[in-house]
Each structure stands twice: as structure tokens, then as C-alpha cells.
Amino acid sequence: MDSLNIRKIGVAGCGLMGSGIVEVTAAASYEVTVLEANPEILEKGKKMVEGSLAMAIRRGKLSEEDRQTITGRIKYTLQMEDFSDCGLVIEAVTENMELKKQIFAGLDKVCREDAILATNTSCLSVIDIASATGRMDKVLGLHFFNPVPAMKLLEIVKTIATSDETVEMSRAFGQSIGKSVVMAPDIPGFIVNRLLMPFFLEAIRLMESGQASREDIDRAVMLGLNHPMGPLKLADFVGLDTACFISEAMYKEMSDARFAPPILLKKMVTARRYGRKTGRGFYNYS
């Protein structure tokens, strides 16, 4: 079997990550069905996909003809049953274990017996999510990075129950959409967030201690390590609510103080200073 068995993709959840996944899979010639919980959120997701395609045209990366072809491959729905002919479904909903388990239990019922079910979770246990299904061998993590069209990496998270065939088909799928694939363990944060979170949290603690300014921390990392963004700007970009959630989830799993959210981060989240998405985080975007 190879990824050619997967011609139709389902994407559950069309927020920041889901919409990016929809765009890259449709651009790679897959037929994509997108599921959202209600008409308003579905419309918002559609606008995100269309907005990103419009930006690609403005940047000279996409022709109007290709935009139309890509858009024509995407079908929006409120019915999970519309995933019944998909070979792969990627879930990209809010980071909530109960919600993800509910969705996976539903997918298990409506999807083809041979369909692969993937989660884009950034930190939750993939085997826990898989346990809601009767096909744990066909469940794995496919962790994308933001902005999905620009970031080349795809982490494949194999649980103790995922079959080698599922991994190989997913690897072929990842390569077919132009991503570089790495195998990541089913541990909190996988590879990237396992390394990124202590980096974010230490930058926040350094700023919180008053020993270095946010601008100097970011400039030091950009110029000293050649990163495209410093850690505080990147935390704003990822979303401080998301960063705080990942930090809490990792701390809960590992009881390791390195992953505990700093007080400043918790206060920023309480004040809804989530970063770019709310116009204010460590920096002001309004």
C-alpha cells in the first residue's frame, strides 16, 4: 500500500492550523473535506483558507488559475459522515482531550475501515486519543507547524499501537505535500515542543526577573543564533494561551519544574493578552 490509497483527506477543525493543513493538502492535489462545529466557525475557517490563498497570489506564489483549482478541491461540511470516503482524516480542533476523544470515537464509526486517523495535537498523548477508537493501529500524530504553508517540518508521532504500515503511508503522504518528515516519540511535546517550551519559558523567566529586556532577549536569539524570530515574539506568534496550555500539560505529565508556566505567562493569559491574535502579548500589535 502507498499514499496513493489516500486521495481524499478529511480535516476536522478549520482554525489556524486546520486551515493551513487544508490549504497545503488541496494545493498538493488532494480532494479535501473540511468539518467544523457550526456554520459561523465553518465560514470563518473558509475565510482563513481563502485569505491565505489571496496572500499567496499577492506574494506572486500562486496564479489565479491555480487558486481556483485549489479552491475547487475543497468541500466544507458540518456533517462528520462526509468523511466516509476519506483515506486519511486529520483532526486539528482545540487542545482538549475529552473533545478529541469524542471526535475520534465519531470518526471511528463513520470512516472507512482502512482509513488512517491522525491528530495534530501539539502535546497531548496520542495513544490516549487513539484509545477512543477500535483501530489504534491506524491512529497516529501528524504534527504541523505554524504557518503551515511556510514551515517544512511534519512530526510523525507513532504510538506503541500504531502499525508500521500506517506510519509508512503517513510518511508518503507527508512527502507528497512537500513536508520533511521526522519520527517523534509519543511523549509530551514530541521533539519540537519538548525543546521549544523550556526555551520559551526560560526567556519569559529571564524577562520577568528584570535582568534582560524583551527586545534584547529577542535580538540576542535572532542575531546570536540566527533564528527568524526571538522567543518572546515567537511565543506571541504561537499564542500565549497555546504556549501556557502546552506548558501546563507537559508539567502535569512530567512533574518537571522546567515545564511549569511562569507567573507572568499565566497573568498574560488571564488578561487575554494572547499575542498576535488578540493584538497584545509581549508586544503590542494594535
Residues assigned a catalytic role:
122, 143, 155, 193
In the bound state with ligand 3HC, the residue whose beta carbon lies nearer, of 11 and 86, is 11
Q: With CB under 6 A as the contact rule, which of the stretches 86-94, 148-156, 157-165, 265-273 interacts with ligand 3HC?
A: 148-156
147 binds ligand 3HC per the rule CB under 6 A: yes
> In 10 A of CB 60, how many CB atoms?
7
C-alpha cell at 234: 515567537
125 binds ligand 3HC per the rule CB under 6 A: no
198 binds ligand 3HC per the rule CB under 6 A: no
SS3 at position 83 = helix
Q: How far from the centroid of its chain's Cα atoms is residue 56's Cα?
A: 20
C-alpha cell at 265: 505567562
Q: With CB under 6 A as the contact rule, which of the stretches 66-74, 86-94, 147-155, 263-271 interacts with ligand 3HC?
A: 147-155
146 binds ligand 3HC per the rule CB under 6 A: yes
Least separation in angstroms between CB 113 and ligand 3HC: 30
Q: Looking up cell 493543513, which residue turns up? A: 21
Identity (one letter) of the amino acid at 203? A
Q: Residue 60, by phi and psi: left (phi above 0), alpha (psi -120 to 50) or beta?
A: left
Q: Contact letters (x/-) for ligand 3HC, 235-274, by CB under 6 A? A: ---x---x--------------------------------
Q: With CB under 6 A as the contact rule, which of the stretches 80-88, 94-102, 157-165, 226-234 interacts with ligand 3HC?
A: 226-234
Q: How far from the centroid of its chain's Cα atoms is residue 1's Cα?
A: 26
225 binds ligand 3HC per the rule CB under 6 A: no
149 binds ligand 3HC per the rule CB under 6 A: yes
Rounded Cα distance between 196 and 202, Å, is 10
159 binds ligand 3HC per the rule CB under 6 A: no
Sole binder of ligand 3HC in the list 52, 119, 133, 159 (CB under 6 A): 52
Rounded Cα distance between 192 and 286, Å, is 30
The DSSP result for 36-68, as a single string, is -SSHHHHHHHHHHHHHHHHHHHHTTSS-HHHHH
Cis check: omega of the bond before 228, within 30 degrees of 0: no
Binding residues (CB under 6 A) for ligand 3HC: these are: 52, 59, 122, 145-147, 149-151, 193, 196, 228-229, 234, 238, 242
